[in-house]
Structure 1
């Protein structure tokens, strides 16, 4: 173990903005372990939803959010904390509500033992819709079936705390830091 502060990067943004792709590249660049919310918890969520008699593809209903949202995030934070003392960690997930909470970075610093570097990944909703169609995941079908209502629930504004803005729109290679 080193006496250095753990290096933790948190990648957040709306579904299909390119969080996982960006997080994989970032993890490779900094030599980090990647903890993606979908990869880490997908099988357990599907099993839990099936056991509860709910749609295993649901990720947006109040029932899903009540039963799984906080547990998924806490699992990611537990894993990050247990690994960050040995190597850098990249956490990827939507963190929609948290992007609007000015005190979230401080709470995470207390929780993780280090202040994460935040990366907000975004692209236009029309691009995200096409990406969701292209990936063909059954868990995305409810989003596509009611796209206008779904996209209204996505956080389109930048986080209210300092972060790096990553725009993954086609023909747009922009990464900027903001000290909001």
Structure 2
């Protein structure tokens, strides 16, 4: 159960596992601001990738990760920190590499100025593929084109720190 006094919630997990849907429901229940990585940064990322002559649908290459990953996440946390004094905040994004860092909850607390409840949303890869096909987003085309390699590159394990586990299949 989630303590109602928790003001910061981070929803993480592999792509297409249901993070956004879960985060919306959580934000609605808590009366929280929802900051979703795709919604917050999508237009800027697409414009920047196009300007650099790169595929605007790319979200998995080393070039994308070097240029945008940390900037997108830091923007989410900047927005969360500025809203937390007034309202609860739900931040949604993959945060895949963070799941293997046992110190991440403490780093979040320092970054946000308050403890966070971390929610890990998960479902099997075959269900994620179905959801990616159903949502029909152009940013998913590179994933689908190399599905087996893409799935092999995804961190699928539960975080190494305490979290709320949400299975969505």
What TM-score do the two structures reach when normalised by structure 2? 0.96
Note if 1:105 corresponds to 2:105.
yes
Instruction: Please state whether the residue corresponding to 2:41 is helix, strand or coil.
Output: helix
Following the alignment from structure 1 to structure 2, what is the Cα–Cα distance between the partners of residues 128 and 78? 29
Following the alignment from structure 1 to structure 2, what is the Cα–Cα distance between the partners of residues 89 and 131? 26
Write the mapping of 1:37-48 to structure 2, written as runs, cut at 5 A.
37-48=37-48
Following the alignment from structure 2 to structure 1, what is the Cα–Cα distance between the partners of residues 72 and 132? 21
Write the mapping of 1:16-95 to structure 2, written as runs, cut at 5 A.
16-95=16-95
Following the alignment from structure 2 to structure 1, what is the Cα–Cα distance between the partners of residues 161 and 55? 35
Note if 1:119 corresponds to 2:109.
no
Worse-matched range after superposition: 89-98 or 146-155 = 146-155
Following the alignment from structure 1 to structure 2, what is the Cα–Cα distance between the partners of residues 11 and 107? 16
Following the alignment from structure 2 to structure 1, what is the Cα–Cα distance between the partners of residues 111 and 24? 24
CA RMSD of aligned residues (A): 0.9
Instruction: Please state whether the residue corresponding to 1:156 is helix, strand or coil.
Output: coil
Count residues in correspondence. Answer: 165
Gap runs ≥5 in structure 2: none
Following the alignment from structure 1 to structure 2, what is the Cα–Cα distance between the partners of residues 73 and 6? 20
Per-residue CA deviations over 1:15-52 (Å, capped at 9, x if unaligned) read: 00000000000000000000000000000000100110
1:6–1:87 contact (8 Å) kept in structure 2: no
Residue 137 of structure 2: aligned partner: 137
Shift of 1:60: 0.2
Runs of 4+ aligned residues of structure 1 deviating over 6 Å after TM superposition are: none
Residue 8 of structure 2: aligned partner: 8
Shift of 1:79: 0.0
Shift of 1:154: 1.2
2:6–2:117 contact (8 Å) kept in structure 1: no
Shift of 1:155: 1.3
| Larger RCO (CA under 8 A, 6+ residues apart) | 2
Following the alignment from structure 2 to structure 1, what is the Cα–Cα distance between the partners of residues 135 and 80? 27
1:17–1:123 contact (8 Å) kept in structure 2: yes
Following the alignment from structure 1 to structure 2, what is the Cα–Cα distance between the partners of residues 158 and 32? 25
Instruction: Please state whether the residue corresponding to 2:159 is helix, strand or coil.
Output: coil
Instruction: Please state whether the residue corresponding to 1:120 is helix, strand or coil.
Output: strand
Following the alignment from structure 1 to structure 2, what is the Cα–Cα distance between the partners of residues 6 and 119? 12
